[in-house]
């Protein structure tokens, strides 16, 4: 049986005193110390990172990590835009299924705040197609188009969108590692400047630095000695057209639907069994659409359920969504995000989530998206 | 049993009429047609590419490939500098070992000749450490340091280095897909301009465009229906310090030694069983050192054996090395190289290598290196 047996994350935010690989080193050192493991007991490292090539001119991160950790084991860099973390976890899971490795570190990291904003925005736009880039579209614009269709089709307003960041900022106040630890109101969201109508600054996840990592093991000796652990039930990936123009619909992400359906079949549990979910809220509309595509709500109904507070910590009778604060409030250091999502679910399932601990939670889900939905990864833990 | 059941490569060279993804599409279409497979029968695609982020601003290649092939299957981009191809093959192999997938395409591609040389050189330098980059070191300089140590330690001259490109250019004349299909002489190598002493232009692999792909399958129905196939016996990876300053020695690549030892143990064959080898000759010194690190020759002896012609097609009584022309003459479109190496071994083992077909070859080896040796992959096919 495969288990997540450890998790560590740096704070997310503007970490000007740390380098990309400095953050990676901190995470690896903490993971090994917490699990009382030596690097010699690790069979491979998977490293999720999007922008290290364009921002740091590093295209050999595996060897850099080998150098820092004084090891000769395989180290793989995984890049799949904002889904890099989820994809790294998926590949690590399959690597373990192959039974030639037993214990793996899966690390995600990104360093974004040291660079000129136009460099970062151009780098992030690399998750969109060449045609979209040439048309001048960046990610706020792509998600704004999705939001326009959704709002018009179902009669929602920008106030409804605002419920997502309001909830996630509240959760951020309960997470000491979050980039934003302050409450915001619907009025503040509504009055913040437009980035791409109908999306505003406070509908949008920030530019962040940070690193996160998990230890994944099938080794009975390792699993036995570790107190806090949770089984990996499924981690499924689906892709779709990188361009919005190639999609069947703009108010739904097909890759999420496919990955979720596969994951629930694999995990042999129902949607109702999920107690916590980390859902990819790069923009407010993204969480709304995801909640429908993941099968938690019918199409067109997620917004009003989120507005009602039923996925908010302390107000929910069922599943709580984005207890970490989500991408919006916890921060979105791209390569780290998918790992932090899985780590947050692990914290909840192992009763280590502190002030945001959801009671009696047995199963949790993490949902990680690349670009505007060209890649989706759905991971289910617990049992 | 896992088999390589298909291989296709574009010509390597200055392919100004093709885009990066146009080349990928050609390879996928040809692989599927040759194997009489539909994309629906493919469970995942692994895509090896180094420079698509920095040169094309594409950091979501998986979704781009999904769009082109009208599929929702997982598509993974693998980046590990010049070892990207070998690493992609290794990950695909482990993915199949996990038994949740049966048939995979492993594609490698690079588009390099459309860009200003300084962009390409800076991009390639991303395979070196930040400290090396800041010191102004590019890859000719790094390999030149290795060559200086080797020549001085064992009393060889620049004429001895020249034997490698002379051999590989001869092999290139026998490969219709090679970038350079003309013979060169030792005098021509010696008289070509220095790039970084003792290495000259003709000691160095070129800047190239190209794509290559293999079909890898464990599906008995697929393996049965395909005529040309060869078993995968081992594909092992090792890493080492990205910086030369962190290595034990400059005249040896530890990662190659570790990966080779693991691969031969896994394959349960001896060095003497290998009939063909594709060895990572980014510079002439690299092939010489690799032949020792792979265990084919004792330390300090490879150069004179290569000079003697014993690894040259038509002159060898044993193993022939770099029948494709190697990186030097076949070309070095970075992400494609590791796949082309495996593909060339497959062609030899399935008796499809045409004018360069080695007789009675039962086992073959491919050796792919990232950077100056921070990553090495050794693959053994045949049986």
* Residue matched to tokens 């005249």: B251
Q: Is A357 on the interface with B (CB under 8 A)?
A: no
pLDDT of residue B293: 98
Q: How far is CA A218 from CA A345, A348, B128, in A?
A: 19, 21, 34
List the one residue out of B114, B382, B75, B360 whose CA is nearest residue B234. B382
Looking at the complex, report in whole angstroms how far the Cα of residue B310 sits from the nearest Cα belonging to chain A: 32
**Cβ contact, residue pair B72, A239, below 8 Å:** yes
DSSP-assigned states of every residue in B197-257: TTEEGGGB----BEEEEEEEE--HHHHHH-SS-EEEEEEEEEE--SSGGGSS-SSS-HHHH
| CB contact at 8 A, B213 and B339 | yes
Query: HSE-up of A287 (CA within 13 Å, CB side)?
Result: 32
What is the rounded CA–CA span in Å between residue A9 and residue A336?
9
**Cβ contact, residue pair A81, B59, below 8 Å:** yes
Q: Is B98 on the interface with A (CB under 8 A)?
A: yes
Which residues from chain B sit within 8 angstroms of residue A76, using beta carbons?
78, 80, 87, 91
Which residues from chain A sit within 8 angstroms of residue B98, using beta carbons?
93-98
List the one residue out of A58, A182, A12, A38 whose CA is nearest residue B81. A58
Nearest to B241 among A66, A91, A97 (CB): A66
End-to-end Cα, chain B, rounded Å = 11
Instruction: Give the chain A residue whose CA is nearest to the CA of B55.
Output: A54
**Cβ contact, residue pair A75, B239, below 8 Å:** yes
Chains A and B form CB pairs within 8 A to the count of: 204
Whether the ipTM is more than 0.90: the answer is: yes
For chain A positions 233-252, those within 8 Å of chain B (CB to CB) are: 237-243, 246
Q: Is A133 on the interface with B (CB under 8 A)?
A: yes
pLDDT tens-digit profile of B327-362?
999 999 999 999 999 999 999 999 999 999 999 999
Which residues from chain B sit within 8 angstroms of residue A98, using beta carbons?
93-98
pLDDT tens-digit profile of A38-50?
999 999 999 999 9
**Cβ contact, residue pair B238, A74, below 8 Å:** yes
Which residues from chain A sit within 8 angstroms of residue B258, using beta carbons?
72
Burial of A108 (0-12, 13-18, 19+ CB in 10 A): buried
pLDDT above 90 (res B316): no
pLDDT tens-digit profile of B131-140?
999 999 999 9
Nearest to B80 among A60, A125, A129 (CB): A60
At B247, the pLDDT band (50, 70, 90 cuts) reads very high
Which residues from chain A sit within 8 angstroms of residue B374, using beta carbons?
60, 62-64, 66-67
pLDDT tens-digit profile of B197-236?
999 999 999 999 999 999 999 999 999 999 999 999 999 9
What is the rounded CA–CA span in Å between residue B100 and residue B78?
19
Bridge-partner residues for A238, per DSSP?
Answer: A376
pLDDT tens-digit profile of A271-322?
999 999 999 999 999 999 999 999 999 999 999 999 999 999 999 889 999 9
Q: What is the mean pLDDT of residues B9-19?
A: 98
Which residues from chain A sit within 8 angstroms of residue B127, using beta carbons?
59-60
Looking at the complex, report in whole angstroms how far the Cα of residue A338 sits from the nearest Cα belonging to chain B: 15
Pairing of strands B44-48, B75-79: parallel
List the one residue out of B72, B229, B222, B130 whose CA is nearest residue A57. B130
pLDDT tens-digit profile of A182-195?
999 999 999 999 99
Give the percent of chain A with pLDDT over 90: 99
Which residues of A are known catalytic residues? 82, 332
Residue to test with chain A: of B44, B74, B235, B238, most A Cβ within 10 A: B74
**Cβ contact, residue pair B241, A99, below 8 Å:** no
What b/e sequence results for A343-377 when a residue is b if at least 16 CB atoms lie within 10 Å of its CB, and e otherwise? bbbbbbbbeebeebbbeebebbbbbbbbbbbbbbb
For chain A positions 46-65, those within 8 Å of chain B (CB to CB) are: 50-51, 53-54, 56-60, 62-65
**Cβ contact, residue pair B62, A128, below 8 Å:** no
pLDDT of residue A317: 86
pLDDT of residue B317: 86
End-to-end Cα, chain A, rounded Å = 11
pLDDT of residue B89: 98
Q: Is B317 on the interface with A (CB under 8 A)?
A: no
**Cβ contact, residue pair B76, A91, below 8 Å:** yes
pLDDT of residue A316: 83
Q: Is B118 on the interface with A (CB under 8 A)?
A: no
Pairing of strands B274-278, B44-48: unpaired
Which residues from chain B sit within 8 angstroms of residue A71, using beta carbons?
239
Residue to test with chain A: of B48, B70, B78, B94, most A Cβ within 10 A: B94
Nearest to B60 among A63, A95, A374 (CB): A374
Burial of B281 (0-12, 13-18, 19+ CB in 10 A): buried
pLDDT tens-digit profile of B100-129?
999 999 999 999 999 999 999 999 999 999
Instruction: Give the chain A residue whose CA is nearest to the CA of B254.
Output: A72
**Cβ contact, residue pair B375, A62, below 8 Å:** yes
Q: How far is CA A286 from CA A144, A301, A369, A372, B334, in A?
A: 10, 14, 9, 9, 36
Beta strand spans in B294-360 (E): 320-321
Considering chain B, what is the average pLDDT of its residues? 97
Looking at the complex, report in whole angstroms how far the Cα of residue A97 sits from the nearest Cα belonging to chain B: 4
**Cβ contact, residue pair B66, A374, below 8 Å:** yes
Q: What is the mean pLDDT of residues A165-189?
A: 98
For chain B positions 160-219, those within 8 Å of chain A (CB to CB) are: none
For residues B331, B32, B274, B340, the Cα torsion angle rounded to the nearest 10 degrees is 10
List the one residue out of A55, A67, A57, A53 whose CA is nearest residue A24. A67
| CB contact at 8 A, A105 and A28 | yes
pLDDT of residue B116: 94
Nearest to B374 among A63, A94, A123 (CB): A63
Which residues of B are known catalytic residues? 82, 332
What is the rounded CA–CA span in Å between residue B380 and residue B361?
13
Looking at the complex, report in whole angstroms how far the Cα of residue A249 sits from the nearest Cα belonging to chain B: 15
For residues B285, B291, B295, B299, the Cα torsion angle rounded to the nearest 10 degrees is -40
pTM of the model: 0.98
Q: Is B136 on the interface with A (CB under 8 A)?
A: no
Residue to test with chain B: of A234, A239, A338, most B Cβ within 10 A: A239
Which residues from chain A sit within 8 angstroms of residue B96, using beta carbons?
98
pLDDT tens-digit profile of A202-260?
999 999 999 999 999 999 999 999 999 999 999 999 999 999 999 999 999 999 999 99
List the one residue out of A113, A110, A92 whose CA is nearest residue A102. A92
């Amino acid at each position: 049986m495969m288990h997540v047996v450890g998790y560590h994350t740096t704070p997310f935010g503007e970490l000007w005193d740390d380098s990309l690989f400095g953050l990676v080193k901190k995470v690896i050192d903490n993971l090994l110390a917490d699990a009382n493991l030596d690097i010699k007991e690790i069979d491979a490292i998977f490293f999720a990172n999007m922008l290290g090539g364009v921002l740091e001119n590093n295209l050999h991160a595996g060897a850099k990590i080998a150098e820092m950790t004084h090891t000769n084991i395989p180290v793989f860099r995984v890049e799949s835009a904002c889904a890099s973390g989820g994809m790294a976890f998926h590949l690590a899971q399959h690597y373990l299924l192959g039974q030639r490795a037993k214990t793996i570190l899966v690390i995600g990291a990104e360093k974004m705040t040291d660079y000129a904003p136009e460099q970062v925005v151009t780098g992030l736009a690399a998750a969109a197609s060449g045609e979209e880039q040439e048309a001048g579209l960046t990610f706020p614009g792509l998600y704004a188009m999705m939001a326009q269709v959704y709002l018009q089709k179902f009669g929602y307003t920008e106030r409804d969108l605002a419920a997502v960041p309001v909830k996630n900022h509240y959760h951020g106040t309960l997470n000491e590692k979050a980039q934003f630890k302050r409450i915001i109101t619907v009025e503040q969201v509504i009055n913040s400047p437009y980035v791409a109508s109908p999306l505003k600054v406070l509908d949008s996840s920030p530019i962040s630095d940070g690193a996160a990592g998990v230890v994944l093991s099938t080794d009975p000796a390792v699993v036995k000695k570790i107190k806090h652990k949770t089984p990996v039930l499924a981690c499924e990936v689906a892709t779709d057209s990188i361009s919005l123009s190639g999609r069947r619909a703009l108010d739904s992400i097909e890759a999420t639907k496919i990955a979720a359906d596969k994951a629930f079949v694999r995990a042999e549990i129902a949607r109702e069994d999920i107690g916590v979910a980390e859902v990819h809220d790069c923009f407010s509309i993204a969480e709304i659409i995801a909640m429908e595509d993941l099968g938690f709500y019918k199409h067109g109904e997620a917004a009003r359920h989120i507005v009602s507070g039923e996925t908010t910590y302390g107000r929910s009778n069922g599943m709580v969504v984005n207890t970490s604060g989500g991408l919006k409030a916890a921060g979105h250091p791209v390569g780290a995000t998918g790992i932090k999502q899985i780590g947050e679910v692990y914290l909840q399932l192992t009763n280590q989530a502190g002030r945001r601990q959801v009671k009696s939670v047995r199963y949790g889900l993490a949902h990680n998206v690349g670009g505007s939905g060209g890649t989706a990864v759905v991971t289910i833990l617990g049992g």
